[in-house]
Amino acid sequence: MLAAVTLLLLHLLPAHGHSPKHNHDHIARNALPGTWYQPRDHAVGALFARDDFPAVGSAAWTASLPPFTPDGSQTPDVTKLPQAWVDAYTAAKAAGNIPDIPQTTTGGQYPNGLNAVSPDICSSYVGCRGPEDHFNVPDGTLALNFDDGPTELTGQLLDFLKTNNEIATHFVIGYSIQQNVSAWELLLNSGHDLAAHTWSHHQLTTQSDMEVVSELGWSMNIIYLSTGGRVPRFWRPPTGDADNRIRAIAKYVFGMEMIVWNQDTEDWSLTETPPPTTTDVIAGQMNTWLNGPKSPGLMILEHELSNLSIGAFMAAYPLMKSAGWNLQSAARLVNTDGAYRNAPGPTGAVTAAGLLDFKGSGPSDTTNSTGNTASSGSASASVVQPTGSVSGTGSKPASTGAGSSASSTNGSPGSASSVSSSSSPAPTGGAMRLDIAWFNALILGAGAVTYVLL
Ligand SMILES: *[C@@H]1O[C@H](CO)[C@@H](O)[C@H](O)[C@H]1NC(C)=O
Ligand SMILES: *[C@@H]1O[C@H](CO)[C@@H](O)[C@H](O)[C@H]1NC(C)=O
Ligand SMILES: *[C@@H]1O[C@H](CO)[C@@H](O)[C@H](O)[C@H]1NC(C)=O
Ligand SMILES: [Zn+2]
């Protein structure tokens, strides 16, 4: 079949307003359920150990966090990280668990001609999915998930979800929490699931290991501090930009599992000028996906960034229901409860022990694995082309220019362009898997590739 791939490159730093810092004395009610966080006695809890939990928004709470940077989000100072995080990183590195992969200049762009989708790197920015990435969900299910909150739209979104009796997973940004503590309190009291989306929404492959530790650790910490000690178990990379180095830091230092997606509306961009997509385009995509095959289930990337992005979700919601999808919070759909531990016991060091025991060998745990999704079942990396980016025309990809530079990839932050290319993979269900060689040819051979925005 012919397919044209429209790949967008973007820098997805949300256009946050600069609200004054709030100092509320409200205490989160902690009505949150138990599937999205790591157990209290999980070894990773030692990385965040505190003996009390100051009220959300209080002076003590604020003092426990990196300073607010109103003129723009910054990665919190890597020289001021809690020693426990540094030690956990050092141990994981010494154990050989964190691969040496060079930093990118922007997502997917590696120096020295390194192949972004080789199994050793597996850049999720250009669509490589690692064997432990969660991106598909069980047949017939639709994962509710929203990135980049909390924002001033969070209240409206929560009202809509409550009216419809739905629960979602919110991938929250630490910096955004600091910006609107009131919106954060709404999330904390909503009973929804919380996951980490870093502190300041940088592309992590552009950062050093310690910067990544800072981004992940502080975003976990603000959730931990605000929920009476729950350590998030799931995270999503900003703009989808991770590779095996970033995956390993999240996994071996912080015990987290990465959730990406299998469809993308690019709803984050609705407020761009000019917008790379429109509400009409999104409505068309939703129509296709929601009326399409139910295998695999749908994990559609959505954002609680703007009136338009939540509006696109709300507009599609009636069809999600009428087309018979089973809507569930993303964290609950990818939950591999009991199959994931990063230490053999609550007091052990944060190590790889048991991490790969999805299939039941090795140190076992107290709970059963619940039907793993495809995302944890395969043994090798794969490349997923979001079918939302596929349209009907295209030319054959240029011949494989292995070794040629991919640096022609255009796109300064925020820009978008497209490349057309043909492919022959058969779509299976909602997500089309491409073999790596094909994607490699596309990346290295096409003159003007820009990638997935994520
Ligand atoms: C903070 O978020 C709430 C809830 O979404 C919203 O009502 C409020 O206007 C926001 N505040 C600011 C200063 O943006
Ligand atoms: C977006 O803003 C418009 C105009 O203010 C309003 O009518 C509409 O209800 C808003 N949509 C959402 C989803 O909040
Ligand atoms: C695990 O599953 C088995 C078989 O379904 C069940 O008998 C057992 O009680 C389960 N164990 C836990 C800890 O849930
Ligand atoms: Zn984001």
d(CA 30, CA 121): 39
Nearest CA to ligand 2 atom 5: 307
Q: What angle do CA 190, 195, 197 make, to 5 degrees?
A: 125
CA 84 to ligand 2 center in whole angstroms: 45
Q: Determine the atom of ligand 1 nearest the C-alpha atom of 17.
A: 14
| SS3 readout for 271-315 | HCCCCCCCHHHHHHHHHHHHCCCCCCCEEEECECCCHHHHHHHHH
Task: Provide CB contacts within 8 A for 447, sequence distance 6+.
Answer: 398, 408, 419
Q: Tens of pLDDT along 338-353? A: 222 333 333 334 332 2
Cβ of 180 less than 6 Å from ligand 1: yes
CA 71 to ligand 1 center in whole angstroms: 19
Q: What is the pTM of this model?
A: 0.71
Cβ of 305 less than 6 Å from ligand 2: no
| pLDDT value of position 226 | 87
d(CA 220, CA 45): 11
In this prediction, what percent of the chain has a pLDDT beyond 70?
64
CA 340 to ligand 3 center in whole angstroms: 16
Q: Determine the atom of ligand 2 nearest the C-alpha atom of 160.
A: 13
Cβ of 271 less than 6 Å from ligand 2: no
| pLDDT value of position 22 | 37
Cβ of 189 less than 6 Å from ligand 1: no
Cβ of 176 less than 6 Å from ligand 1: no
| pLDDT value of position 32 | 61
To the query of whether residue 100 is one of the catalytic residues in this protein, the response is no
Catalytically annotated residue among 134, 197, 202, 303 = 303
* Tens digit of pLDDT at every position of the chain (454 positions): 333 333 333 333 333 333 333 333 333 344 566 667 777 666 777 888 666 788 999 999 999 999 998 877 899 999 999 999 999 999 999 999 999 999 999 989 999 999 999 999 999 999 999 999 999 999 999 999 999 999 999 999 999 999 999 989 999 999 999 999 999 999 988 888 889 999 999 999 999 999 999 999 999 999 888 887 778 889 999 999 999 999 999 999 998 999 999 999 989 999 988 999 999 999 999 999 999 999 999 999 999 999 999 999 999 999 999 999 999 989 888 865 422 233 333 333 433 222 222 222 222 222 323 322 223 333 355 554 333 332 222 222 222 222 222 222 222 222 222 222 222 222 222 222 222 323 333 333 332 222 222 3
| pLDDT value of position 340 | 27
CA 342 to ligand 3 center in whole angstroms: 21
To the query of whether residue 147 is one of the catalytic residues in this protein, the response is yes
Q: Determine the atom of ligand 1 nearest the C-alpha atom of 19.
A: 13
CA 201 to ligand 4 center in whole angstroms: 6
CA 270 to ligand 2 center in whole angstroms: 14
Binding pocket residue ranges, ligand 3, CB within 6 Å: 366-368
**Hey, which of 160, 267, 307, 309 would you mutate to test ligand 2's pocket, going by the most ligand atoms within 8 Å of its Cβ?**
307
From residue 209, alpha-carbon distances to 11, 89, 101, 245, 250 in Å are 20, 9, 10, 8, 10
Q: Determine the atom of ligand 3 nearest the C-alpha atom of 368.
A: 1
CB atoms inside a 10 Å sphere around CB 69: 13
Q: Determine the atom of ligand 3 nearest the C-alpha atom of 367.
A: 13
d(CA 41, CA 27): 23
Pure H helices in 35-133: 59-63, 83-94
The bound ligand whose nearest atom lies closest to the alpha carbon of 312 is 2
d(CA 121, CA 123): 6
Task: Provide CB contacts within 8 A for 95, sequence distance 6+.
Answer: 252, 351, 352
| pLDDT value of position 48 | 80
Catalytically annotated residue among 133, 147, 193, 267 = 147
CA 366 to ligand 3 center in whole angstroms: 9
Q: Determine the atom of ligand 3 nearest the C-alpha atom of 366.
A: 13
Nearest CA to ligand 2 atom 7: 307
Q: Tens of pLDDT along 154-166? A: 999 999 999 999 9
**Hey, which of 368, 369, 370 would you mutate to test ligand 3's pocket, going by the most ligand atoms within 8 Å of its Cβ?**
368
The bound ligand whose nearest atom lies closest to the alpha carbon of 271 is 2
* Cβ 363 vs Cβ 344: under 8 Å: yes
d(CA 52, CA 64): 11
Q: Tens of pLDDT along 98-114? A: 999 999 999 899 999 99
